Each structure stands twice: as C-alpha cells, then as structure tokens.
Amino acid sequence: MLRQKLKLPFELELYRQKIEATLKPYIKIKERANNKLDLWQSKFGGLLYLPKGVDYPKNAKGEYLYLLAQINFSEVPNLKNFPKTGILQFYILPNEFYGKYLQSPVDQEDFRILYIPEITYDSKKIITDFDFLPKLQLDTNIFPIKNSCSLEFSCEIAPMSFSDGNFTSQIGYELYDILCSNHQLWDEYTQIADCGSNIGGYPTFVVEGDERFYHLPDEDYRHFILLLQIDSNNSENICWKNSDGVGNFFIEQSALKKLDFSEVFYAWDCSD
C-alpha cells in the first residue's frame, strides 16, 4: 500500500515526518445491526460457526462463553501476517467484567480465541442448533454486543494513536506535551489516528493508558500487536459499559505468523 499524505493541522506540520513514519495499514471494520446472517459470516455477536466434533468453549466452571466476534478471513482484504483463510472467533463470559481476568490477561479462562483454519459450508457438518445455550439478557450490562452485526471491511492506513504506549518513543515527548495541553489539536489528531473497530491497526485506550504497558512483563508489550479492536458504537448498540468504551485483543507478532492464538492479551476500558 502506498503511503498517503496526511491532512495535518498547521501546528503539527513540524512533526509530519515523525508522524508519517508511523503510518500503518489496517483493516477498518464497519458494523451494521443484522440478525439474519449465515453461521459462517463475519459478525459481532449472534450465532457462530462450529464444526461438529469441536467442543463449544466453556470456562473451568463449565460456564458457556458467548461469541463476541467472528472474522471469516475469506471476506477480509489481505493484511501481512494475518490469516488469508479460515475463521477466527473471540468468546467472552457474559459478566460485569466481560470475561476480563485482571491477574492474568493472557489466561484464556473467561475468554477464548478459537481459530478454525478450514471452513465447510455443508450444514450437515456444522452445529446449527444452539438451544443448549442459556439465553443472554442483552438488555443488561454483561455483554457489549446488544444486536448481531454484519461487518464490512476495507484496507486503510493511519498513524500511531495518541494513547499507544509507543507514542513518545517513536514520535516524541514534545508532540505528546503539545497534544496534552491543546484540546483542539488533540481532537484533530484523534480524528486522524483513532481507527474505531479494526484489525491490525493501532489501539485506542480510554482511561488507564496502554494496557499492555501495565500488565505485560517489561518490554513484552512492544511485541504484542493489535489483533482486533471493537469500539463502542451507540447507533449499532455496541457498548463497553459506557459509550466511549473499547475492547482490544493483542498477540505477539511471532505467534500471529504461526497462526498460534493460544496466548492473546485481552483488555477493555471505559470512562467512569
């Protein structure tokens, strides 16, 4: 992908070279409420694709995890190191913590990542009856996706987000201080850099700063890249507690290349 010339505020022109050096391709996700989706389609929420013989995800207590997101990579533009085929699924426990385990965010106890490399479209070979699942009370604050959503994908490019923990090391403290002290410039940069729901771009954090920095050992957080981000979207009934909440999944680059999703870092946050 060719690098594009960013439209920057005049006050940020001095930092253009450093900002553009962080430009990164990503897959932008546009979601639309849709309850009439095939089981194998990409979606947020709703019913899932599961071949017969594959165990439905549960935690150690035997509680069912529920589908947060399903990405069918045959529907997604190619992105370096990401799958080109197969289905990647993200499950979480519907509770007040949305399946987040604070002591060990890579422990897939109350959330689960499942990759199915080969897809069959033969309904006789997949589970089609999910009556065994207890019905979710979606009007409560225990699950961020209130309606099943279809997903549209496009390949875009954006610079590093302001809340990314690598911002000061790559772009510099001077620009960081300017954005912190000038709300208008901060808003304008946010419009340029924050990608909403996306695959493989830069993450957005709301309150605590870069969650990778606080919960991963030493320099490990620099090797964990964004796998999937789901942003709140009031118009489509996606809400991580508050309307500004956001959920993130990260993976080490080396593991992604091997399509090994056994250690994924999961975080979400929102304003008070």
pLDDT in tens, 69-94: 999 999 999 999 999 999 999 999 99
Contact 222, 205 (CB under 8 A): no
Residues 33-63 pLDDT 10s: 999 999 999 999 999 999 999 999 999 999 9
Share of the chain above pLDDT 70, in %: 96
How high is the pLDDT of residue 215?
76
271 or 225: whose pLDDT is higher?
225
Task: Tell me the pLDDT tens digit for each residue of 97-141.
Answer: 999 876 777 889 999 999 999 999 999 999 999 999 999 888 888
Residue 170 in contact with residue 160, Cβ under 8 Å? yes
Bridge-based pairing of strands 198-199 and 149-158 is: unpaired
Binned at pLDDT 50, 70 and 90, residue 65 comes out as: very high
pLDDT(5) > 80: no
What's the pLDDT score for residue 210? 86
How long is the chain?
272
Give the pTM.
0.94
d(CA 193, CA 63): 38
- pLDDT over threshold 60, residue 246: yes
207 or 53, which is more confident?
53
Q: Is 10 exposed, middle or buried (0-12, 13-18, 19+ CB in 10 A)?
A: exposed
Q: If you average pLDDT over every residue of the chain, what do you get? A: 92
Which residue bears the tokens 């935690």? 59
Is pLDDT at 1 greater than 60 in this prediction? no
Domain ranges across the chain? 10-269
* pLDDT score recorded for residue 218: 66
**In the CATH scheme, what is the code of domain 10-269?**
2.30.320.10
Q: Between 217 and 152, whose confidence is greater?
A: 152
Residue 79 CA to residue 199 CA, distance in Å, equals 9
Give the C-alpha separation, 79 to 268, whole Å. Answer: 24
With a pLDDT cut of 90, the percent of the chain lying above it is 80
Q: How confident is the model at residue 6 (pLDDT cuts 50, 70, 90)?
A: confident
SS3 per-residue string spanning the chain? CCCCCCCCCHHHHHHHHHHHCCCEEEEEEEEEECCCCCCCCCEECCCCCCECCCCCCECCCCCECEEEEEEEHHHCCCCCCCCCCCEEEEEECCCCCCCCCCCCCCCCCCEEEEEECCCCCCHHHECCCCCCCCCCCCCCCCCCECCCEEEEEEEEEECCCCCCCCHHHHCCHHHHHHHHHCHHHHHHHHHHHCCCCEECCCCCCCCCCCHHHHHCCHHHHHHEEEEEEEECEHHHCECECECCCEEEEEEEHHHHHCCCCCCEEEEEECCC
Q: Which residue has the higher pLDDT, 207 or 219?
A: 207
Q: How far apart are CA 106 and CA 224, in angstroms?
A: 11
